[in-house]
Amino acid sequence: MTRPRRSLLFLPGDDRRKIEKAITAAPDSIIMDLEDGVAVNKKADAREAVLRAISELNFGKSERIIRINALDTHFADDDIQTVIRAKPDSIIIPKVEAPDHVTYVVDRIPFAIPVIVMIETAKAVMNIKEIAAVPSLAALCFGAEDYIASVGGVRTQSNHEVAYARSVVPMCASVFNLQALDMVYVDFKDEAGLCAETRAALELGYSGKTAIHPNQIAPINETFTPSKEEIERAQKLLQAFNENQAKGAGAFAFEGKMVDMPVIRAAQNVLARVGVI
């Protein structure tokens, strides 16, 4: 069964206190960042801190992820060596713009590891189909801030400026049976805004969302977890579907509405989100 990644919490790899605090928030995934969250003169310290954290701390059920630096920096190869030593559960590669960016990393790690790639530039969006086809990928993660910088745009609360790119990521992920992970919500004090943006991500087809603060984890998890009523309705709908199939019926009425295969697939998606099917 695919590992759930509803909530993924970014934190600086060189900050042991924040790593420990992240564990108490219990996100599905904890991303120990060696890239943007760490100052240039602290990169080596961050690598050692991440190594110690993974070897010394109990992360509970949270997935341990390391985000390395982009391959066009001179930090990436040292980061890959840290991944080899630490043996995290997964790795994130930022600024991926072509399939060979993924294979470069995978070929240097002597064990199988799930790979999450950041789709966060205009070139990445243009090449997303080729990137998504690379073996070893587990998920595509959209990075809005870097993307809009790459096209010279301006970020707004409405997100209209990233609408196309944000929609392409879950569409392509579904084609290649990957998870789609949504952008961070940078105003960590605005829970209402976070909930609205997370709901929009769910409606677009995302399976999870990245976060920058522990307080964002519970709202994100709640949004991506179907309610008891949603689960029960999906189960009843699928039961009715199976009964009608046995009778040779195609479309049928359920709760006063006609049901066909798109509605059935939506119900199956609800149950898949909680691991029922």
How many whole angstroms separate alpha carbon 140 and alpha carbon 182? 9
What kind and span of H or E run contains 260? none
Q: Which of 72, 78, 100, 260 is catalytic?
A: 260
- Contact (CB, 8 A) for 140 and 128: yes
State whether residue 12 is helix, strand or coil. strand
Q: Angle at the Cα of 75 (from 73 to 77), degrees rounded to 5? A: 105
How many whole angstroms separate alpha carbon 50 and alpha carbon 69? 14
How many whole angstroms separate alpha carbon 101 and alpha carbon 37? 21
**Residue 124 neighbours by CB distance under 10 Å:** 26
Does residue 78 carry a catalytic annotation?
no
Catalytic residues: 260
